[in-house]
Structure 1
Amino acid sequence: MTEQLLAGKNIAILVANGFEEVEMTEPQRALLKAGAKPKIISPEQGLVNGWHGAAWGHYFPTDRHVGEVLAADFDLLVLPGGDRSVAKLATNPHTRRIVGSFVDAGKGIAAFGKGVELLALVERIKTRTVTGADSARAALEAAGAVWSEDAVVQDRFLLTAQSSENMADLIDAMLRHFEAAVEQRKQAA
């Protein structure tokens, strides 16, 4: 079923230098396998550098610059964590525009670890139940979200996860979540 529902879907993966590498590469790999078309969106030009463990990781080619992207160009959104990446994206006005447009449209979003903090920027997550990195809790609660201690939380179009310790379970949850989001949008059309 995954291959049918996600085949051909354009999926934005929003990252900046210092993103948590496994939180980008594992979803990207699973989405490609499901027939989707994941695209790396970044404020970096050409290449974006991941963070792996306690040091800089690999470089990855970017597909589109964040300033040239509209949420309407994509069906789904992935927000990997990483302290440096989230800090840089949080200061970029295009991040607010893109994430806010996904929230407003009710399009599927999967946010991992520290990446969940980017949802607080849009100030449109009041009453949504979320989880993520503990460091994101205060910002999300200030934005009106309801914090959960669960490892993975789904609230309508939004899937949030605390960490990447068990990526296989997170990937399964993300694929099921994205399938449901695509099906809901198909039925609403």
Structure 2
Amino acid sequence: MSKFNLEGKRIAFLVTDGFEQVELTEPWEAALQAGADVQLISLNAGKVQGVHHDEKGDQFAVDQTVDEVSAEDFQGLVLPGGVFSPDALRVHETAMDFVRDFFKQGKPVAAICHGPWSLVEADVVSGRRVTSWPSLKTDLKNAGATWVDEECVCDEGLVTSRNPDDLPAFCSKMLEEFAEGKHAKQTA
């Protein structure tokens, strides 16, 4: 059982094919154990394909498409990494509007590994302190963020981590921010 209570909170997990499976499953399980209603959101209905680095993982059933939901329906957002999923999401206008709306509404967002690529495209990292997979460092800095090489960084409700090794710290801070709720200073 989690020390954080997420009863009554809906948390969106936004992915498409090619997400790093463990970066979905561990935060998902942590949110479930804390009592959250977790929803898998994707670009298309059906199933999405996880990966274990460069090998196929499991498929997961999509709860709703990004066209069917609004940030208003959720109290938090998780953006798992993997190279392919964030790259596909960041060129999808509705997905980027969905991400951006969490920031406009001051709601907590957690992104790990390559997940922050979506944050760059949504133009929500300027002036923020973040971390990510090292290859995103330049993209994040060019988008106005201060990039640091730390296990887990939290800046006004935005939680970021570097890789699967950071999942314990990422999940803990993610749950804390989701339990706390709204962040008035978090703006798009």
Give the alignment's TM-score, normalised by structure 1: 0.91
- Tell me which residue corresponds to 2:163: 163
Q: Which amino acid counterpart does residue 77 of structure 1 have in structure 2?
A: L
Secondary structure class of the residue paired with 1:114: coil
- How far 1:2 sits from its partner (Å)? 5.2
Give the alignment's TM-score, normalised by structure 2: 0.91
- How far 1:122 sits from its partner (Å)? 1.6
1:58 aligned onto 2:67: no
Contact 2:86 2:115 in 1 (8 A): yes
- How far 1:134 sits from its partner (Å)? 1.3
- 1:177 & 1:10 partners in 2: Cα distance? 13
- 1:123 & 1:167 partners in 2: Cα distance? 25
Of residues 1-10 and 149-158 in structure 1, the stretch that sits farther from structure 2 once superposed is: 1-10
Higher helix share: 1
Secondary structure class of the residue paired with 1:87: helix
1:110 aligned onto 2:138: no
- How far 1:3 sits from its partner (Å)? 6.5
Of residues 165-174 and 134-143 in structure 1, the stretch that sits farther from structure 2 once superposed is: 165-174
- Tell me which residue corresponds to 2:79: 79
- How far 1:177 sits from its partner (Å)? 2.3
- Tell me which residue corresponds to 1:100: 100
Structure 2 vs 1, CA of residues 20 and 4 (structure 1 numbering), >3 Å: closer, same or farther?
closer
- 1:37 & 1:147 partners in 2: Cα distance? 31
Count of residue pairs the alignment pairs up: 184
- How far 1:71 sits from its partner (Å)? 0.7
- Tell me which residue corresponds to 1:11: 11
- 1:72 & 1:28 partners in 2: Cα distance? 20
- 1:89 & 1:118 partners in 2: Cα distance? 7
- 1:123 & 1:109 partners in 2: Cα distance? 14
Of residues 33-42 and 123-132 in structure 1, the stretch that sits farther from structure 2 once superposed is: 123-132
Point out 4+ residue stretches in structure 1 off by more than 3 angstroms: 1-5
Q: Which amino acid counterpart does residue 130 of structure 2 have in structure 1?
A: V
- Tell me which residue corresponds to 1:143: 143
Extract unaligned runs of 5+ from structure 1. none
Q: Which amino acid counterpart does residue 18 of structure 2 have in structure 1?
A: G
Extract unaligned runs of 5+ from structure 2. none
